[in-house]
Structure 1
Amino acid sequence: MSDHEQQQPAPRRNSFLDALKRAERKVFTRPAPKSAKAQIEFLYTRAKRSTKALAEQLGVSPRTVQRYRAGQQTKPQKRLQAALVEETESQWQPQVRAQARERAATTGGMQVEVYAYFGFECTGSSDDGRERFISTSISPVYAAEILRLQEAGATEEDLHPVVAEAITESYFTEWGSRAQGLRADFTHVRSIEIEF
């Protein structure tokens, strides 16, 4: 292993997909239910009042769903707690989320803050790659493509080239006004935040 590879931090998995989820949750106009009973009731309604469907969704028995609905159980184990939070927040305020995604894809774009290792490809460039903190706007065209890929079930690896191209265009080439032919790529993401 080279010195260069040893200096880079370990990569984080699904960091961009997680950042997209967090960005959607920031647009909520009301907080999502917090108690296990309230979360179960919300998800029960979303599951068309099917105890069996909700139990399958959460990976528990139908009897467990019934106990939480009746108030017989109130403190879920960690796995169920995580599933309740994830499922509740992923289904909370779908219209508000859809409006925010539509704005990002048509007019507003996205704001991205990323701390990662950036490397470059450019004829005649002597700028070696290094860790950088970058805060930049991504155009609605790229935002639409990113959101389309996410909805289609894209992986982190599918999204990475599009995000790298969007950051290159907005930050490094300033919308094509300088550094023609530059291609930036980033790896070893330490943190990433997105806002619609």
Structure 2
Amino acid sequence: MGILGEGLNAAVERAFTRPIPKSAPAQMRYLVRQEKGTRAVAQLLGISQRTVERYVKGQIVRPRPDLGERLADAVRQRWQPRVRERAKRQAATTDGLVIHTRARFGYTAAPGTTDDARVRHLTLALPPEYARRFFDAQAAGATERQLRNIAAEGLQEIYFQDHGRRAQGLQVEFTDIDYVEFDL
């Protein structure tokens, strides 16, 4: 997953109402409840069923670093699914989302204008239609390039073209992303 996909996930995770379990045994117990059994969790994490049972009982409390990351990621992906969906639905229907970014923006414009790319720091509120497009594309397994194109279209319309009031025919290129963050 790329920088935009991770940014969207982080924005949705900020909507959580309860903290994610911190300890490995608590995370493992949560996964066992979600997956309805130790065998499914063992297959999910690529470990033995007996190891899962040891975590559940508290016999093992510190996982290997690679297993700890897989465990935390699996829990994070499954944590509070209704809260996650409600936040996405609200952003896609009424609130939209805010994008904070520093990246290189270049564009194709009419002859006689400068189209040299330059680094800009932008914070803009994108309307709900772009939030819906982002979340739909992400759910469909969109690539980082496709998410970047959606962001470029949104920034083009809102910032560079001012909702169609100026710079007709301008095509924005969103490259060399320094960072990007989203808020719902």
What TM-score does the superposition give when structure 2 sets the normalisation length?
0.96
Cα distance in 2 for partners of 1:60, 1:130 equals 48
Residue 179 of structure 2 is aligned to residue 191 of structure 1: yes
Residue 147 of structure 2 is aligned to residue 159 of structure 1: yes
Q: Could you give the per-residue CA deviations for residues 2-42 of structure 1, whole angstroms, max 9, x where no partner exists? A: xxxxxxxxxxx700001011111100011111110110011
> Match of 1:63?
50
Aligned length: 183
SS where residue 75 of structure 1 aligns?
A: coil
Residue 103 of structure 2 is aligned to residue 116 of structure 1: yes
> Match of 1:130?
118
Residue 66 of structure 2 is aligned to residue 82 of structure 1: no
The CA deviation at 1:127 is 3.9
> Match of 2:156?
168
Cα distance in 2 for partners of 1:182, 1:165 equals 10
Gaps of 5+ in 2: none
Cα distance in 1 for partners of 2:60, 2:162 equals 56
- Among 68, 72, 85, the alignment partner of 2:59 is 72
Cα distance in 2 for partners of 1:80, 1:46 equals 18
Cα distance in 1 for partners of 2:80, 2:158 equals 31
Q: Is the 8 A contact 2:106 2:173 kept in 1?
A: yes
**Amino acid corresponding to residue 105 of structure 2 in structure 1:** F
User: Which structure 2 residues correspond to residues 18-57 of structure 1 after superposition, within 5 A?
Assistant: 18-48=6-36, 50-57=37-44
Between the aligned residues of both structures, percent identity stands at 39
Cα distance in 1 for partners of 2:54, 2:176 equals 44
Q: Which runs of 4+ in 1 moved over 4 A?
A: none
Residue 83 of structure 2 is aligned to residue 96 of structure 1: yes
Q: Could you give the per-residue CA deviations for residues 62-117 of structure 1, whole angstroms, max 9, x where no partner exists? A: 11101101111000111111111111111111111101100111111110001111
SS where residue 174 of structure 1 aligns?
A: coil
> Match of 1:5?
none
The CA deviation at 1:141 is 0.9
Q: Could you give the per-residue CA deviations for residues 136-176 of structure 1, whole angstroms, max 9, x where no partner exists? A: 11111111111101011111022221111011111111111
Gaps of 5+ in 1: 1-12
SS where residue 125 of structure 2 aligns?
A: strand
Cα distance in 1 for partners of 2:115, 2:123 equals 19
Q: Is the 8 A contact 2:7 2:182 kept in 1?
A: yes
Q: Cα RMSD over matched residues?
A: 1.1
What TM-score does the superposition give when structure 1 sets the normalisation length?
0.90
Residue 149 of structure 2 is aligned to residue 149 of structure 1: no
